[in-house]
């Protein structure tokens, strides 16, 4: 993936965080699929649901991946085939930003020790 696409994805993610839509990853992922044929092809291989939530369940979002399309709905009373549960918003921002920007060291460290 080229650096321009990555930059656009991170800017979109940042806007989501600033607007209070911390887990609204469906929009930037859908945009990425629209500009990257490689990502779109990979996305179409997987049909699943992923719940991203805070441990206290004060906020969450269910992402649905189906037929190469990503959609999302707010809610913490839902469950997904995959669940990403974060202790707090700060950790969620660090992990998701690092993961999407390719900074796997921050992602792996957060997974290992929750910080």
pLDDT in tens, 73-105: 887 777 899 998 888 888 887 777 666 555 566
Domain that holds residue 66: 3-87
Domain count, the chain: 1
* Residue 13, domain member (yes or no): yes
Q: What is the pTM of this model?
A: 0.71
* Residue 57, domain member (yes or no): yes
**How many Cβ atoms are within 10 Å of 82's Cβ, its own excluded?**
12
* Residue 93, domain member (yes or no): no
* Residue 99, domain member (yes or no): no
pLDDT at position 111: 58
- Residue 46 φ then ψ, to 5°: -125, 125
DSSP H or E segment with residue 52: strand 48-54
pLDDT at position 48: 93
Q: Can you read off the two tokens belonging to residue 70?
A: 């990503």
* Residue 32, domain member (yes or no): yes
Helices (H), 19-88: 26-35, 37-43
For residues 28 and 66, the model is more confident at 66
* Residue 7, domain member (yes or no): yes
């Amino acid at each position: 993936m080229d650096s321009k696409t990555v930059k656009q994805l991170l800017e979109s993610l940042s806007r989501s965080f600033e607007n209070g839509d911390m887990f609204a990853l469906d929009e930037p992922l859908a945009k990425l699929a629209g500009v990257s044929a490689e990502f779109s092809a990979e996305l179409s291989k997987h049909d699943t649901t992923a719940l991203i939530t805070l441990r206290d369940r004060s906020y969450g979002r269910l992402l649905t991946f189906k037929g190469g399309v990503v959609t999302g709905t707010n809610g913490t009373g839902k469950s997904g085939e995959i669940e990403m549960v974060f202790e707090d918003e700060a950790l969620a921002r660090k992990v998701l930003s690092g993961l999407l920007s390719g900074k796997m060291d921050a992602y792996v460290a957060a997974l290992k020790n929750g910080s």
